[in-house]
Amino acid sequence: MSPSRADTFSLPLGERPLIRARFLTRPNRFLVSCEAEGLGRVKAFLPNPGRLLELLLPDVTLYLLPNAPDAPPRATDYTVLAVECDKRPVLLHTHWCNVMARRLLDARAVPGLETMQVVRQEVQVGRSRFDFLLQDDNRRCYVEVKSCTLFGNGTAMFPDAVTARGRRHLLELADIAQEQNTACRVLFIVQTDTARCFMPDYHTDPDFAHAMLSVRHHVPIVPLPITWDSRLRFRVSGPPLPTPWEHVAKENCDCGAYLLVLRLDTPHVVKTGSLGTRRYLPGWYVYVGSAMKGLNARMARHRRKRKRKHWHIDYLRDVAEYVDCLPIRSTTRMECDIARDMAANSNGITGFGCSDCACAAHLFHHTNNPLHDREFHNLLQRYRMAEYPG
């Protein structure tokens, strides 16, 4: 590793102190409620529209920064910078990810761009605005920066929510690279040093994954892993992560398994098809299903209440509120494997959804919201983020 890539960098905190707070709730995409010693319960601005479900779990530690004394008045006095995961900070502030990128670029710490310097930031090209324009003696290069906060099981993935804007950026960069003969890059700042590979999250956004597959020869991606310390100092932890393109191309499909999350607020007695009349307690229910053809259509069907009832889950869906549906795209059938793993930490509803297999149940009851449970996310990541297949 070159000396510049071994450097440790700091964020522009100034004299303002970092405040650690306990996460409580997220009322909307850009606001969190948390509790800090000496401050009590406070609200803080969260400059990140991602889902962040596996990070913003109950009682996790947030890193807050007070507003600058000369800053314009805002509805909140604090801004969330990072969240603690496995005792290490993960940067959430998307705008400061560009600050990170600028410091890495200026230090010649981004592989493939060591000879180039930043000419401008926030460069308007056509309908899009890209983060950086770089130049050396021979060429120019547009660089778009993305912050990758989704990782687990040795794999980092982006995005954690559908991003039409991100897909458009990829396609427009590819057009620039081909039509203007100008170099383009996408720099993914991977906010962990635990990942061994990087992939587009084809489970969540298959269109973004397809775009990345289609432009990869024209727009190289640079997934750069980062190490953080408790004072929010960072450094490059290794070379860019590899991407198993053949695996992504194979598994970015409209088939696989899914976890349907429903909620019942009161007890219900429901005639459940061939199971007869069943009593369902209040709480959250996770149904493990699959569709080896038409996965997107199957998940869309579960969002609707008005439909002809065909499966056991249709009868429960008729009285329960839809919470979420999490796809696990795969050309391998894994529905029963997931159900068996779910049974280890959940109360199965005997016979539900498993009339055509040997499983005890494909429906599981939870007293608390499983989306707030780390074990549930660990299970999801084990199936979504398989060990590096290369």
Give dist(CA 256, CA 88) in Å, integer. 33
101-133 tens-digit pLDDT = 999 999 999 999 999 999 999 999 877 899 999
Residue recorded with tokens 């973004």: 208
Distance of CA 379 to the CA centre of its chain: 15
For 59: left if phi > 0, alpha if psi spans -120 to 50, otherwise beta; the answer is: left
Predicted pLDDT of residue 208: 98
Please give the pLDDT value at position 52.
96
Residue partners of 153: CB distance under 8 A and separation at least 6: 381, 382, 385, 386, 387
Give me the pLDDT at residue 14, please.
84
Q: State the pLDDT at residue 211.
A: 98
Give the global pTM: 0.93
Reported as a pLDDT band with limits 50, 70 and 90, residue 181 is confident
User: What are the pLDDT digits (tens) for 268-292?
Assistant: 999 999 999 999 999 999 999 999 9
At 338-361, the pLDDT tens digits run 999 999 989 999 999 998 899 999
> Can you tell me the distance from the alpha carbon of 108 to that of 96, in angstroms, rounded to the nearest whole number?
19
Q: What pLDDT score does 334 carry?
A: 95
pLDDT at 330 over 90: yes
Which of the 8 DSSP states describes residue 44?
A: E
Q: What is the pLDDT of residue 6?
A: 63
Asked whether residue 73 carries a pLDDT value surpassing 90, the answer given is no
In this predicted structure, the answer to whether residue 388 has a pLDDT above a threshold of 90 is: no
Distance of alpha carbon 115 from alpha carbon 140, whole angstroms: 11
**Fold classified for 9-83:** OB fold (Dihydrolipoamide Acetyltransferase, E2P) (2.40.50)
For 38-51, the pLDDT digits (tens) are 999 999 999 999 99
Compute the C-alpha angle 379/381/384, nearest 5°.
115
Q: What is the DSSP string of 330-364?
A: -SS--HHHHHHHHHTTSEE-TTTT-TTSS-S-SEE
Q: What is the pLDDT of residue 138?
A: 84
Is 128 or 60 the better-scoring residue by pLDDT? 60
On average, the pLDDT of the chain sits at: 94
Q: What per-residue string of b and e applies to 199-217 under the rule 16 or more CB within 10 Å gives b?
A: bbbbbbbbebbbbbbebbe
Tokens at residue 153, please? 């099981």
Q: Please, where in the chain does CATH 2.40.50.580 lie? A: 9-83
What φ, ψ does residue 290 adopt, rounded to 5°? -155, 160
Query: Cβ–Cβ contacts within 10 Å for residue 38, how many?
Result: 5
- C-beta of residue 35 within 8 angstroms of C-beta of residue 17: no
Q: Which of 64-73, 247-256, 268-277 has the lowest mean pLDDT?
A: 64-73
Within the chain, which residue ranges are assigned CATH 3.40.1350.60? 94-244
* Spatial separation of the C-alpha atoms in residues 46 and 60, rounded to whole Å: 15
Asked if residue 41 lies in contact with residue 35, where contact means CB atoms within 8 angstroms, the answer is: yes
Residue of 376, 254, 378 lying closest to 327 (CA atoms): 254
pLDDT score at 1 = 40
CA distances from 84 to 19, 54, 62 (A): 12, 11, 6
Could you report the per-residue pLDDT of 358-381, keeping only the tens digit for each? 999 999 999 999 999 999 999 999
Q: Is the pLDDT of residue 5 over 60?
A: no
241 Ramachandran zone, left/alpha/beta (phi>0; psi -120 to 50) = beta
Q: What is the pLDDT of residue 390?
A: 56
The burial of 322, by beta-carbon neighbours within 10 Å (0-12 exposed, 13-18 middle, 19 or more buried), is given as middle
Tell me the C-alpha distance between 361 and 343, whole Å.
8
CATH class of 94-244: alpha beta
pLDDT of residue 2: 45
Residue type, 236: V
* DSSP helix/strand/coil, 328: strand
* DSSP letters spanning 83-151: EEETTEEEE--HHHHHHHHHHHHHTT-STT-TT-EEEEEEEEETTEEEEEEEE-SS-EEEEEEEEE-EE
Nearest to 98 by CA among 14, 223, 187: 187
